[in-house]
Amino acid sequence: MTKLPEPPYYAVIFPNQHAESTEGYGKAADRMVELAKEQPGYLGIHSARNADGSGLTVSYWADEASIAAWKQNAEHQAAQQGGIDQWYSSYEVIVARVERSYSGPEGRPSS
Amino acid sequence: MTKLPEPPYYAVIFPNQHAESTEGYGKAADRMVELAKEQPGYLGIHSARNADGSGLTVSYWADEASIAAWKQNAEHQAAQQGGIDQWYSSYEVIVARVERSYSGPEGRPSS
């Protein structure tokens, strides 16, 4: 899985529901993951989708400035418009400041 | 989707990878969702899993105290042990303070 740094950093949580037609989505989504990786402040991504079309992506960023810059990226803006116009029936964007983290099973604290 | 309040609140991001054997997982996972909904400070949940066994769950809580209480819940602790012993080959727990959010397509800010 994505190797994340020690907190603090930022998470952009993106729950979404696919619309009936998702033509072109897969290619655009793959491209956005590649493009995000090239952005300053990008730290990682986790993403999953259920068979019913509901999905959840969390991307991680060094700070709010890197989130804002990614949102304004021209190619990303075109993809966002595709999401609004076609690919998503609904979505949320939830921006959060990561305060602590741990991993497991091995790294799990005993407390 | 889950209707969340205005920030601030907390998100517990749980990326995970299923182990080869997940016998008993589905029933335990369903029960944990039901049990979480009964806890003080519970606000909502988003969850998805890919066909390759990688999954992502984000649960939302009013404050750190409600997260701590849920972690210590006896039935939840038994399920956590099942995750450690059997169901997950790896996982992360990432706790973040939600600072802002918006929804779409309709609710999207034009900025």
Nearest CA to A24 among A111, A109, A86, A91?
A86
Domain annotation covers residue A41: yes
Peptide bond into B5 cis (omega under 30): no
Of A13, A46, A108, the CB nearest to B11: A13
Q: What is the pLDDT of residues B2-48, one digit of tens each?
A: 789 999 999 999 999 999 989 999 999 999 999 999 999 999 999 99
Q: Which of A94, A95, A99 sits opposite B95 (nearest CB)?
A: A99
- Prediction pTM value: 0.94
Q: Tell me: pLDDT of B107 over 70.
A: no
Q: Which amino acid is at A7?
A: P
| Residue B48 contacts A where some CB pair is shorter than 8 Å | yes
B12, part of any domain: no
B13 touches A: beta carbon within 8 Å: yes
Q: Is A77's Cβ below 8 Å from some Cβ in B? A: no
Average pLDDT over chain A reads: 93
Contact present, B108 and A84 (Cβ < 8 Å): yes
Is B103 within a domain? no
Q: What CATH number does the domain containing A65 carry?
A: 3.30.70.100
Asked if residue A4 belongs to a domain, the reply is: no
Query: A108 lies in a domain?
Result: no
What pLDDT shows up at residue A111? 42
Task: Report the gap between the CA of B51 and the closest CA in chain A (Å).
Answer: 8
Residue A106's pLDDT is 73
Domain of B64 in residue numbering reads as 19-98
Q: Residue B35, by phi and psi: left (phi above 0), alpha (psi -120 to 50) or beta?
A: alpha
Q: A100 to chain B, minimum CA–CA distance in Å? A: 5
A1-20: average pLDDT: 92
| Residue-level pLDDT at B41 | 98
Q: Is residue B111 a part of any domain in this protein? A: no
Q: For chain A, how many structural domains are there in total?
A: 1
Alpha-carbon torsion angle A49, B53, B25, B71, nearest 10: -70
Tens digit of pLDDT for each residue in A49-90? 999 999 999 999 999 999 999 999 999 999 999 999 999 999
Using a CB–CB cutoff of 8 Å, tell me whether B2 touches chain A: yes
A111 within domain boundaries: no
CA distances from A106 to A52, A60, A102, B62 (A): 33, 23, 10, 29
CA dist B10 and A101 (Å) reads 13
Using CA atoms, how far residue B22 sits from A55, A83, A106, B107, in Å, is: 21, 34, 18, 39
Looking at the domain assignment, is residue B89 inside a domain?
A: yes
